[in-house]
Structure 1
């Protein structure tokens, strides 16, 4: 619940435009018209300022009210601290090409407009919806402003240059003169409220691209450029320019707590972006109320969000946006979105009255610590990237577009600085991990298994590789398609498995690959149209998730196609010690005529392909025992005619424009794809993968592995790793089930029962029993275990039976793992 001050502040900001009235000043009163935006004179401001404590000569001047708000000296010092730190951050994040500044200066017209041959200023309904070209106008202004202000590497000659400054003013004034004046165009362009033909610079699309990220044009994109640029220029702005800066910033800020057409209420990353606009405006106007309100909104956003499909930081360390889509790699982290916004603004607030409290600090640490597991390094380019499964629709961009696929865009030095400011060991550890060099994809050399139970996602990391599994349930969505980005992405959460080894494995292949053969999925090939309408779908099944003890784990997914209901299956991925991964597929049902495939991988071809030890360029193999390619080997259980192996290699070409809004030329990629053809879907199958192995190591390791399938049917999937004495069980049935283990004399036989669905991981050597409820519907779980005659595992003592009662986590922690250690 907002405070009364917050509610009044937001209402005044917003209603001033709805009523064609006036801006909010430092004290909450209004003083100039929204259209003319004419503030008081600089003379009045400077006169008032002369009586204030003498701080930095470029401390912002209050130009938002006729009477200067009384501010105590401590608060003034805090605002000055914010101001200096924000200036440094704004300049450091400018990405424009400073070598183009001379050409920008020479080509700018006397009216402040660049030639149409350079910038397409088409606005309104006729404007291009995605990647709105007109935004380039502000990209140039912001770069020139940073160069003029100082601190931009390589642009020293432009510092305080009068020609640069006058051209900045021309360009700003041109935009301001053509700014839309109908408040309905803020978010309702192209509707009866703001019909086509309404004058001014506006776009019908909520989201547009500024070369780095995707954001709302009128509420986020342009206001961020404007507020940051105006803060850099500060006291050199004319009164009219200050008014226009405030106009654009405050109408954006006024959208808080109001339903916005096409979006709803601002949440998550959008809240952080708009709050940042408010902070910069508050600093410029010395508006303490606005700064305080904006920081309060940030701190109320940087919290753990436990509810299903909530936007924001989840208890498991993931970040969701757009009603349950895993978006840690864009909204959770990408440049100037959530994480970097928090870094920028909290570093600015460090040590001041505006800094975050313990709740926000802990939540932010949870997010960053969760992020670490989701990244990998491309060892050929030495660039750190996000796992494709946390990028949502941004998979549709090539690296060169500098979108979320381009890199993590993590400011490590800011993480380290904030860790020091907050005395946070978590942030310091994250920064140290990100600074490490790596000779393989496993950035930071993180080893272990992690389940993101809020986002239906598991990551397993080991020496030389990173493997992820992305699923979805009735608590999450499959993906999204916005602005024609990612129209083919229906299968992107169907148990997608990426294994990164060199880091270029899947880079820039999405335009060319087969979207019906996404790595890891089980699919009725081609049976469903891959169109935008088949995204933003909530899953049907509840039993999706996994269990982990931090070292080993199991991801499980029951699946029913949410559109056709024609395909269903059960699948378990067991991540074992020594980097062994075992997959079980059972209970397949298909009512379509389409063939059912389980995809092993589809990635860049990297060297030879060997099936049963013999090199091949592709083909169909009726009874395969093994396959190896690109440092990943597979061993298959005997087929007995139930499945065959298909391998394809060769060049494929695709257009980026067919999967999104990128204007890059078509991509031609030499690809490798391999899949299992389920010729008899009633027969369950299993196979074992060995990542990060050369061919010789694969042969040796696969011969030494002792993985035994205990059960694999519609009720139970279970295995025993005899090398490490680990038993893993999936009870698929809501009523539970039973399974028996024969340990070939190493231990007494074991019988395990459960009265409800569950995942159980039992380490015989330590007595550790880890369990979870992937359905997230239970509060209690009872697992009964009994031994036959023979050697007892650790922790049994004189007992021959155990009844283990687990109190399961609920609410935001539902689906997470709990454990007991046997003793007796």
Structure 2
């Protein structure tokens, strides 16, 4: 039989292609070869995307598997390698790893597995003195012996069944020809910790580990079953995985773009290359779904190679917005979607992800997002001591980007009760734990309406005895933020955060005599206030007191992400929030945000002419912005007729509507009824 194997170039990596008459053994062999070629890519010549990425300073503490794998793209740090060779002790362990660690996230013994993989890649990489080095080989086998004999286990099942087999499995495939019979059996035993099961990305991870075991055992039937299990998750409309609106869910009805979803698209792009040229490869329909997930989902949430904060899930790691954007960029490139996400800023429009209670607005100059929750959608989660302070993340959080780095690594300095856009209690007590359905908003009155370029997003807030009705109307140059029906029976002051971001230049306030700098903490009680900071303007209208805070703050990453070592960091923050007082009754607010603006534009803006608020109460919020159309954006919270500009509008049910005057009266042009549950 002709054993000739051809090659193709995909995703910058030379992959093999089998002839049509290939045997099962041929197919497994070529998949192994593809696996090794992909793993060794970081040791080769960097393409433009990788060259761009490796200019970023590497992290020293990592828990996110995607970030760990992203860091494997860096060139070998030979000084660090020398440390591995020097610090390994006689039993094969390393003296600088805490093997008794009990953390559920950032578990230190996983570093042992990561070093085995790094050394295995170094052993086969050309261009260094360590290429096929006997010293490196000896250290690798000693490290394997320690792992096989001690069998470290983490309290978090994910490491034992997914994380460790995934990392070690890659090393086993690279080292297969170097493994003794005993080592290979021990390697297979490690891989047997992963079995088919679970849902969404967890299902894909487990099946990927079973695939590695099949390759080590040369078991074509098992490999085929693993491939089919992986491919079975390339679909839409299930409870977990890709949703019909091209968001991604895991751990129930919860938006997981930057966590499980990113692992999913990254993994699927890997498998698309791994199976290329064999009968295992994904079909056109499956690839089309993956492309749509990127183009109709992920492309919306990246701005200037920064991922939206509201897409990070529970993973508020250091530099998370950057790492996750690059992780997506590599996945998109592997799928053949070149120029992503640099070209992502060319995307202009407005999209509401209805399955996830999440809105993204993109102009040519700025991006804004809103994240909400309801009795259908979970707002956030606390798992494995990640996201210890994120209880309010799904309560109408808003972020506005011009450069993209406005909130980069601000989290240690945040007042987590004043997440931008959120209405909550002011309190010095510990923030409640965001566990399970506890972060749900007890209402169905949450949704959004879009005409493709602009839109209105609305929510009833009903949590912990606090009620409010909040809406966000995105126009071309500004966002209208309304709140009403704010009430609570508590001795705690209720606040609404306008913004809380890194300080970049002065915070200025407009006075009768001109602009002046705001220093420290100040309170303002005027009917109309205008502020400007970091290319963003704010106009606050109403009777409630506006408090600004400018200056240095200190904090610790470990206070909200337990995997980090205790260390105090310092930064400067600008914060603006409204105070509605103690036991508010029917309190309300109105403010406008102008991302990508200037002081001159903010000075000249005529609020009465440009923003017409016809109603702002617990029944409805009605707004007209003449610059974007003659119609009215209407949020209806109660099924009753309402008067809009002198005409009666009777909605069939609560929801968001866009209506216009006609000869016959008000005509409904667009509608998004709430999904009542």
In the superposition, the TM-score normalised over structure 2's length comes to 0.85
* Inter-partner Cα distance in structure 2 for 1:688 and 1:406: 31
Change (3 A) 1:523 1:700: same
Q: Which residue of 2 aligns with 1:287?
A: 219
Instruction: State which of 186, 204, 209 in structure 2 corresponds to 1:277.
Output: 209
1:722 aligns with 2:642: no
2:258–2:324 CA contact under 8 A, matched in 1: no
Cα deviations by residue, 1:544-603 (Å, 9 ceiling, x for unpaired): 111111101111101111xx3x21011110112x22211121112211122221111011
- 3-state SS in 1 of match to 2:192: helix
* Inter-partner Cα distance in structure 1 for 2:330 and 2:459: 39
Cα deviations by residue, 1:329-357 (Å, 9 ceiling, x for unpaired): 12111xxx211110001122134211223
Q: Which residue of 2 aligns with 1:7?
A: none
1:345 aligns with 2:271: yes
2:412–2:555 CA contact under 8 A, matched in 1: yes
2:374–2:441 CA contact under 8 A, matched in 1: yes
Residue 643 of structure 1: how far off its partner (Å): 1.2
Instruction: State which of 558, 563, 569 in structure 2 corresponds to 1:667.
Output: 569
- 665-674 or 620-629, which deviates more: 620-629
Instruction: State which of 704, 711, 726 in structure 1 corresponds to 2:615.
Output: 711
1:162 aligns with 2:134: yes
Residue 704 of structure 1: how far off its partner (Å): 9.1
- 3-state SS in 1 of match to 2:298: helix
2:105–2:386 CA contact under 8 A, matched in 1: no
Change (3 A) 1:159 1:703: same
Alignment of 1:745-824 (within 5 A): 750-762=647-659, 769-776=669-676
2:451–2:670 CA contact under 8 A, matched in 1: yes
Instruction: State which of 120, 124, 139 in structure 2 corresponds to 1:149.
Output: 124
Instruction: State which of 483, 496, 517 in structure 1 corresponds to 2:384.
Output: 483
Change (3 A) 1:169 1:527: closer
1:484–1:532 CA contact under 8 A, matched in 2: no
Number of residue pairs the alignment of both structures matches: 619
- 3-state SS in 1 of match to 2:631: strand
* Inter-partner Cα distance in structure 2 for 1:683 and 1:128: 44
Q: Which residue of 1 aligns with 2:478?
A: 580
Change (3 A) 1:55 1:167: farther
Residue 731 of structure 1: how far off its partner (Å): 4.3
Change (3 A) 1:675 1:411: closer
Residue 109 of structure 1: how far off its partner (Å): 3.2
Change (3 A) 1:162 1:523: same
* Inter-partner Cα distance in structure 1 for 2:618 and 2:607: 29
Q: Which residue of 2 aligns with 1:390?
A: 311
| Structure with more contact order per residue of length (Cα contacts < 8 Å, sep ≥ 6) | 2
1:473–1:539 CA contact under 8 A, matched in 2: yes
* Inter-partner Cα distance in structure 2 for 1:347 and 1:477: 34
- 3-state SS in 2 of match to 1:489: coil
- 3-state SS in 1 of match to 2:627: coil
1:651–1:668 CA contact under 8 A, matched in 2: yes
1:619 aligns with 2:619: no
* Inter-partner Cα distance in structure 1 for 2:408 and 2:462: 30
Change (3 A) 1:411 1:237: farther
1:546–1:759 CA contact under 8 A, matched in 2: yes
* Inter-partner Cα distance in structure 2 for 1:466 and 1:734: 31
Cα deviations by residue, 1:603-659 (Å, 9 ceiling, x for unpaired): 11222223334322241111142222222212233x3xx312111111111122221
Structure 2 unaligned spans of 5+:
7-19, 43-68
Cα deviations by residue, 1:271-307 (Å, 9 ceiling, x for unpaired): 222222122222232211111111111111121134x
Change (3 A) 1:98 1:78: farther
Residue 367 of structure 1: how far off its partner (Å): 2.0
Cα deviations by residue, 1:358-401 (Å, 9 ceiling, x for unpaired): 44333322321211111223xxxxxx232111112212x222xx
* Inter-partner Cα distance in structure 1 for 2:654 and 2:414: 37
- 3-state SS in 2 of match to 1:231: helix
Cα deviations by residue, 1:227-264 (Å, 9 ceiling, x for unpaired): 11111012221111111111111231x2x23xxxxxxx
- 3-state SS in 2 of match to 1:735: coil
Residue 411 of structure 1: how far off its partner (Å): 5.7
Change (3 A) 1:81 1:361: same
Residue 724 of structure 1: how far off its partner (Å): 3.0
2:619–2:638 CA contact under 8 A, matched in 1: no
- 468-477 or 311-320, which deviates more: 311-320
Name which one, 1 or 2, has greater alpha-carbon Rg.
Answer: 1
Alignment of 1:372-387 (within 5 A): 372-377=299-304, 384-387=305-308
Instruction: State which of 404, 428, 432 in structure 2 corresponds to 1:531.
Output: 432
Instruction: State which of 242, 245, 249 in structure 1 corresponds to 2:184.
Output: 242
* Inter-partner Cα distance in structure 2 for 1:759 and 1:407: 33
Cα deviations by residue, 1:463-484 (Å, 9 ceiling, x for unpaired): 3221110000001112111232
Change (3 A) 1:304 1:583: same
Cα deviations by residue, 1:121-180 (Å, 9 ceiling, x for unpaired): 22xxx63443222121111111110111226xxx5332222322232112112211222x
1:505 aligns with 2:402: no
Residue 105 of structure 1: how far off its partner (Å): 2.3
Change (3 A) 1:761 1:689: same
* Inter-partner Cα distance in structure 2 for 1:111 and 1:700: 73
Residue 98 of structure 1: how far off its partner (Å): 4.1
2:234–2:286 CA contact under 8 A, matched in 1: yes
In the superposition, the TM-score normalised over structure 1's length comes to 0.71
2:401–2:595 CA contact under 8 A, matched in 1: no
* Inter-partner Cα distance in structure 2 for 1:413 and 1:678: 46
Residue 325 of structure 1: how far off its partner (Å): 2.4
2:390–2:434 CA contact under 8 A, matched in 1: no
